[in-house]
Amino acid sequence: MRVYKAQHSYYCGVDLHARSLFVNILDDTGKTRLAQDLPASPATFLDAVKPYRQGIVVGCECMFAWYWLADLCERESIPFVLGHALAMKAIHGGKAKNDKLDAEKIAGLLRGGFFPMAYVYPKAKRETRDLLRRRSFFVRQRAQLIAHIQNTNSQYNHPPFDKKLTYKGNRNTQIVDRFEHLSTRLSITADLNLIESYDTEIASLETHLVKSAKIDDPSTFAFLRTIPGIGPILGLVMLYEIDAISRFAEVGNFLSYSRLVTCTHESAGKVKGVGGRKIGNAHLKWAFSEAASLMLRSFPAAKSWMQRQSKKRGKKKAHAILEAKIGRTVYHMWRKQVAFDAKKFLAS
């Protein structure tokens, strides 16, 4: 976990909420210069920190409303640090907890050089990344509707569907005709209508996202898609969730961020277990898991490798190794800007 160690004259901890924020400013000796509850307004915040602008750093915990504060600090040339929510145990683990104490602890962590850092995603591509995440949410909602139709069909002991309902051509009026009661028919009809709407919206979003990727980073987007199992959607997820591969000094840092490796907990020479399973990017973890499964379908050499590894380590462990193997490939391909090489992939 990276921590912020830069020295400043003033350290501003912000406990941020949707409509309010609590500001606590410490000087380099640890003395409190300001502790005030304010409305979440750019003008109000700038007015509060104005006497301390020379040599100040601003830090806040990563929560859904941090965008405007980060953008404000960037415009005003104020150093801004985003705190890793899961790693800030000094805030979450306290016996007493309120806005004033949280802001004071954030400022104290900044001053002491123990403030755990999260990535401040650049404004230029932030909206596109959020749209991509919204598209993933719509896909999950659509899958729930399909699952409801299948579960209802099983509930009434009807024969299973001959074809997958995922595809539009396999959804017709015969699905509704299976059910006798009007209420059930209306429920299934509603599901089918919503699935149709989701199909239209998702297709529109995907068209826009692919166009954006070809503008933001066309070469990397093309290189990623040369890996067997990575198509347009997984390529988009990796492109916008990673943003810049240069922010990872080594491949191990990238694998850790993608949740592709686990860390052991040791004490007195004994291993107590593993931790940090939820620290990292969940979207990348999903993308690499999907890429591994799809690679086994489209890349015979990988399927043969998987069979050998499964005999040695078991299927679950072998699949995890393949995910990490793809992660290393993505890291080196991106840094070198080269296409996928099957021989190097299998030899590594």
The string over 114-147, giving b where at least 16 C-beta atoms fall within 10 Å of a residue's C-beta and e elsewhere, is: ebbbbebbeeebbebbeebeebbeeeeebeebbe
- In this prediction, residue 1 has a pLDDT band, given cuts at 50, 70 and 90, of confident
In the chain, count H helices and then E strands: 14, 9
Instruction: Say whether pLDDT at 114 is over 90.
Output: yes
pLDDT tens sequence across 134-164: 999 999 999 999 999 999 999 999 999 999 9
117 vs 270, higher pLDDT: 117
- Whether 102 and 139 share a structural domain: no
Return the pLDDT at 265.
Answer: 81
- In this prediction, residue 237 has a pLDDT band, given cuts at 50, 70 and 90, of very high
- Whether 114 and 133 share a structural domain: no
Mean pLDDT value across residues 320-347 = 94
- Whether 107 and 171 share a structural domain: no
Using the 3D structure, point to which of 216, 250, 285 is the last residue of a domain. Answer: 216
DSSP code, position 84: P
Alpha carbon 157 to chain centroid, angstroms? 40
Using the 3D structure, point to which of 63, 93, 118 is the last residue of a domain. Answer: 118
- Whether 292 and 338 share a structural domain: yes
E strand or H helix at 75: helix 66-75
How far apart, in whole angstroms, are the C-alpha atoms of residue 90 and residue 3? 14
* 3 state SS of 103: helix
- Choose the weakest-confidence range: 158-167, 179-188, 258-267: 258-267
Maximal CA-CA distance, the chain:
77
- Whether 311 and 334 share a structural domain: yes
- Whether 36 and 90 share a structural domain: yes
Residue 21, strand partner residues: 16, 38
Count CA atoms closer than 13 A to 143's CA, side-chain side. Answer: 6
Residue 106: name the closest of 9, 2, 10, 11 by CA: 11
Using the 3D structure, point to which of 171, 186, 216 is the last residue of a domain. Answer: 216
Mean pLDDT value across residues 333-340 = 95
Torsion of CA 319, 213, 341, 307, to 10 degrees: 20
% of the chain beyond a pLDDT of 90: 87
- Whether 231 and 294 share a structural domain: yes
List, in order, residues 6 or more apart from 247 with CB less than 8 Å away.
119
Asked if 174 and 188 count as a contact pair (C-beta separation under 8 A), the reply is: no
- Whether 63 and 9 share a structural domain: yes
97 vs 14, higher pLDDT: 14
Asked if 234 and 290 count as a contact pair (C-beta separation under 8 A), the reply is: yes
Domain count of the fold of the chain: 3
Instruction: Say whether pLDDT at 283 is over 70.
Output: yes
Residue 243: name the closest of 131, 123, 136, 139 by CA: 123
Q: Range of 332's domain?
A: 224-347
Return the pLDDT at 107.
Answer: 96
Instruction: Say whether pLDDT at 348 is over 70.
Output: no
pLDDT tens sequence across 189-223: 999 999 999 999 999 999 999 999 999 999 999 99
How far apart, in whole angstroms, are the C-alpha atoms of residue 53 and residue 51? 6
- Whether 211 and 314 share a structural domain: no
- Whether 251 and 338 share a structural domain: yes
- Whether 99 and 208 share a structural domain: no
pLDDT tens sequence across 117-137: 999 999 999 999 999 999 999
How far apart, in whole angstroms, are the C-alpha atoms of residue 303 and residue 118? 37
Strand 263-267, strand 115-118: pairing: unpaired
Q: How many residues does the chain have?
A: 348
Residue 14: name the closest of 46, 87, 77 by CA: 46
- Choose the weakest-confidence range: 50-54, 179-183, 218-222, 266-270: 266-270
AA letter at 315? K
DSSP structure string for 155-177: HTTPPPPSS-TTSGGG--HHHHH
- Whether 104 and 65 share a structural domain: yes
Q: Is the pTM higher than 0.85?
A: yes
AA letter at 334? W
Mean pLDDT of all residues in the chain?
94
pLDDT tens sequence across 28-76: 999 999 999 999 999 999 999 999 999 999 999 999 999 999 999 999 9
Q: Identify the CATH number of the domain in which residue 66 sits.
A: 3.30.420.10
